[in-house]
């Protein structure tokens, strides 16, 4: 057959403070690159993985990109084969949706090669199965923005109902990744199963406030809604220096700062790029005081999702 495509899928920020498993947005970088080729030989072969330092499995059924592709080709009864080359351009266990980027890239690439039998939103369930493999839960707050771009709300999982949310063009995200690792499965296991009603009410109000603030370009409302009273108090204990780094972001002018996904990365939102850059520098300095190296990424909300790059 010989049909081949190379795609890029972006990193994502999930939860967005108050929106555990229901809010997420995409950023411009980092991300994953995936080369997918259709072959005559049945089956999915992972022929190359770079950038993973030997951490990712080479068998398709144990790899998020492979699982997403398998789910898709099963639906269309494709009987040929697939070769995959995965180039990890982002850290794993970072809270930036590494597994989701690979799954999204796989589903998107295969859909393109097959002539787009599915709309982009319809690819989300395929990529969610990759997430189920990675962390035990088929959540969509990473894969949905990774595939669809932009800021999304997962209103319901049964049935799946994904709502794109408009965001102010001036809104800039700062993401800082301290070079430590927090496993998503571990970060989910420590969460409490029940929460006090008063905390739930506070959280619901913040979710509603954040969505309203985004739609109205009300930066003050966005800022005061970026509060998490349920997940952050627990997960922040896994991140050395969390409070100091969060405070550094706020003092540098961020609207708000919280854990990205399951951590250890943190994200901040700012009203302009200059402030977002100051936030990045202040947070990096705060981590350095603790002897922790970090990488920073500054970008607007990525509206594109995956793109063909070759």
Provide the pLDDT for residue 190. Answer: 73
Provide the pLDDT for residue 93. Answer: 84
Which position among 131, 167, 174, 232 bears the catalytic label?
131
Q: Is 131 a catalytic residue?
A: yes
Question: What is the distance of C-alpha 203 from the center of its chain?
Answer: 21
pLDDT along the chain (310 residues), means of 10: 88 97 96 96 94 84 96 95 95 91 98 97 97 89 98 97 96 96 69 92 98 98 98 93 97 98 96 98 97 96 95
Provide the pLDDT for residue 69. Answer: 98
Given a contact cutoff of 8 angstroms between Cβ atoms, the answer to whether 24 and 147 are in contact is no
Which position among 12, 64, 174, 184 bears the catalytic label?
184
Provide the pLDDT for residue 20. Answer: 95
Distance CA 57, CA 64 (A): 9
pTM: 0.94
Provide the pLDDT for residue 184. Answer: 65
Question: Which residue carries 């199965």 as its tokens?
Answer: 129
Given a contact cutoff of 8 angstroms between Cβ atoms, the answer to whether 32 and 86 are in contact is yes
The second-level CATH assignment, the architecture, of 4-166+303-308 is: 2-Layer Sandwich (3.30)
**Is the fold of 4-166+303-308 the same as that of 172-300?**
no
Mark residue 292 as left, alpha or beta (left: phi above 0; alpha: psi -120 to 50; beta: remaining): beta
Question: Which residue carries 């809010």 as its tokens?
Answer: 23
Can you give the residue ranges of every domain in the chain?
4-166+303-308, 172-300
Reply yes or no on domain 172-300 having CATH 3.40.50.300. no
């Amino acid at each position: 057959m010989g049909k081949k495509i190379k795609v890029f899928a972006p990193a994502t920020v999930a939860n967005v403070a108050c929106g555990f498993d229901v809010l997420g947005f995409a950023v411009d970088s980092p991300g994953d690159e995936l080369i997918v080729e259709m072959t005559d030989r049945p089956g999915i072969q992972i022929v190359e993985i770079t950038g993973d330092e030997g951490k990712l499995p080479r068998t398709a059924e144990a790899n998020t990109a492979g699982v997403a592709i398998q789910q898709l080709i099963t639906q269309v009864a494709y009987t040929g084969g697939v070769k995959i080359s995965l180039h990890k351009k982002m850290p794993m266990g970072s809270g930036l949706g590494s597994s989701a980027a690979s799954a999204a890239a796989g589903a998107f690439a295969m859909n393109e090669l097959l002539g787009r039998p599915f709309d982009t939103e319809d690819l989300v369930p395929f990529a969610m199965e990759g997430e189920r493999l990675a962390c035990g839960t088929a959540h969509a707050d990473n894969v949905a923005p990774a595939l669809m771009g932009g800021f999304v709300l997962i209103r319901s999982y049964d049935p799946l109902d994904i709502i794109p949310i408009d965001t102010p063009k001036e809104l800039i995200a700062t993401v800082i990744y301290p070079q430590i690792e927090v496993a998503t499965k571990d970060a989910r296991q420590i969460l409490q199963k029940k929460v006090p009603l008063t905390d739930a009410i506070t959280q619901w109000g913040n979710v509603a406030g954040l969505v309203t603030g985004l739609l109205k370009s009300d930066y003050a409302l966005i800022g005061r809604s970026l509060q998490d009273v349920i997940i952050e108090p627990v997960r922040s204990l896994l991140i050395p220096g969390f409070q100091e780094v969060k405070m550094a972001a706020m003092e540098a002018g961020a609207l708000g700062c919280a854990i990205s996904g399951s951590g250890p990365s943190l994200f901040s939102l700012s009203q302009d790029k200059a402030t977002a850059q100051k936030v990045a520098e202040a947070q990096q300095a705060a981590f350095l005081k603790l002897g922790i190296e970090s990488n920073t990424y500054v970008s607007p909300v990525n509206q594109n999702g995956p793109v063909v790059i070759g």
